[in-house]
Chains A and B, each alone.
Chain A
């Protein structure tokens, strides 16, 4: 059995250093080592999207990354979006449009939507649905999530 390794990552702008097994998934690292349980774990094989985080500003499945792989990297999680008292803009839009019911998939959706808003030129309902297709929601039927993204995109368009 090989030993543990040092991992230091920036999560939502805060530096964390831990000593972990090389096989530890980033999703488990965030939840168990850092106590950041907002990142949810669904399928653990890259299908459901619940564990989506941002790695260097782009969405990634944290269940398909080892913590050791992101040593020195910049990670953003749902905790960086806002707080209960002060929701982030994406969270607000999801709330306004009833884009969630049970909320299990929501952190993953919020992070994917953040990637869409920052890095992709997505237009119209079909493209929004395609861009969201890597995240699974069993409650909403997606309609309200699509509406939330539509509002965020037109807001962004107006601000340009």
Chain B
């Protein structure tokens, strides 16, 4: 249970970190909070020759509102995301989600961007980055590029990131005031990885739901938005008949796996239960808006 690491580089800037990765010839690894990477290194599932530590790079620990987007730097810890007032007021669903993430001590170290890059299909950050139309800001030896999250996460624990690139920020959608939100997940213990989760936001206009978003986690090899379910709810009041159609669309568009903790059938059952609760919460929280 000891890492098989050979050397360590404490990066002083993004460029310095990228140069260290390039020098490692494909065998380097970035560490931020280390709450996923260090266990994997202790188990020797990951054996980087160089660990490139970004914890001392200045300026990466900021949460910045730019118009209707919110930038989250690579050193923003879960504790900061969970308690940040700008997130609470502009992306209340993310504030709500954070209350489900890990434990106090892990939240002190773990980062939003690190969790996104780890791309665990049962983690909240990849799910919420999908949900919030995240743009991933990547630095590499050839310069900087931006990737839409849908292209960034390529599968379970897999991303588009090259071995000599690092993510220094992700920016996310914010919501207008009055947007209703619901988030429900089921985990065997609070703070553990969830078996399944559903996130919903919507606005309420003239008695119907508008700009509906719905994303699921734990029900496929990666978390994602389900356009078919969103379409079933769009322009409707979520009464029993509408809910039935939405849940049918949900079931038609997921392919859950079975594992030690839950069978595919059980996950399908959870999907319906969690979706119903999340939709009901979002509908209840949405302030009635009159068009202006």
Residues of A within 8 A of B (CB): 1-2, 5, 22-23, 25, 28, 44-46, 49, 52, 55, 58-61, 63-66, 68-69, 71, 112, 115-116, 120, 130-131, 133-135
Q: Which residues of the other chain, B, contact A5 by a CB distance below 8 angstroms? A: 8
Are B3 and A134 touching (Cβ within 8 A)? no
- Which of the candidate stretches B31-39, B126-134, B205-213 sits at the interface with the other chain? B31-39
Residues of B within 8 A of A22 (CB): 5-8, 51
CA distance A6 to B114 in the complex (A): 27
Q: Are B51 and A65 in contact (CB under 8 A)?
A: no
Instruction: Give bound CA distance, A135 to B105, whole Å.
Output: 9
CB-nearest residue of chain B to A59: B105
Separation of A59 and B102 alpha carbons in the complex (Å): 14
Q: Which residue of chain B has its CB nearest to the CB of A116?
A: B104
Task: Check A45 against B42 for contact (C-beta < 8 Å).
Answer: yes
The A-B contact count (CB < 8 A) is: 91
CB <8 Å contact, A23 and B6: yes
| A44 CA to B40 CA, complexed, in Å | 11
The number of residues on chain B lying at the interface, defined by a beta carbon within 8 Å of a beta carbon of chain A, is 30
CB neighbours of A130 from chain B (8 A)? 190-191
- B106 contacts chain A at the CB level, 8 A cutoff: yes
Determine if B189 is an interface residue (Cβ-Cβ < 8 Å): yes
- Which residues of A lie under 8 Å from residue B227 when comparing CB positions? none
**Closest-CB distance, B145 to chain A (whole angstroms):** 28
Q: Write the B1-19 contact mask toward A (1 if CB under 8 angstroms, else 0).
A: 1111111101000000000
Contact of A69 among B39, B43, B53 (CB under 8 A): B53
Q: Which of B38, B104, B191 contacts A115 (CB 8 A)?
A: B104
Query: Is the Cβ of A61 less than 8 Å from the Cβ of B42?
Result: no
Contact of B8 among A49, A68, A116 (CB under 8 A): A68
In the complex, B156 has a CB within 8 A of chain A: no
Q: Which residues of A contact B55 (CB under 8 A)?
A: 69
Docked-complex contact A45 and B104, CB < 8 angstroms: no
Cβ–Cβ < 8 Å partners of A61 in chain B: 35, 105-106, 109
Q: With A46-B35, A112-B105 in contact, do A63 and B42 touch (Cβ < 8 Å)?
A: yes
* B103 close to A (CB within 8 Å): yes
Contact between B34 and A59, CB atoms less than 8 A apart: no
In contact, A52 and B6 (Cβ under 8 angstroms)? no
Cα distance, A23 to B4, chains bound together (Å): 7
Chain B positions within 8 Å of A28 at CB level? 2
Out of B1, B4, B38, B191, which one reaches A134, CB within 8 Å? B191
B46 to nearest A CB, angstroms?
Answer: 12
Flag whether B89 is at the interface (Cβ < 8 A): no
Which residues from chain A contact B7 at a C-beta distance below 8 Å? 2, 22
Closest 4 CB pairs of A and B: A134-B103, A22-B8, A44-B1, A45-B39
* Chain B residues, CB < 8 A from A112: 104-105
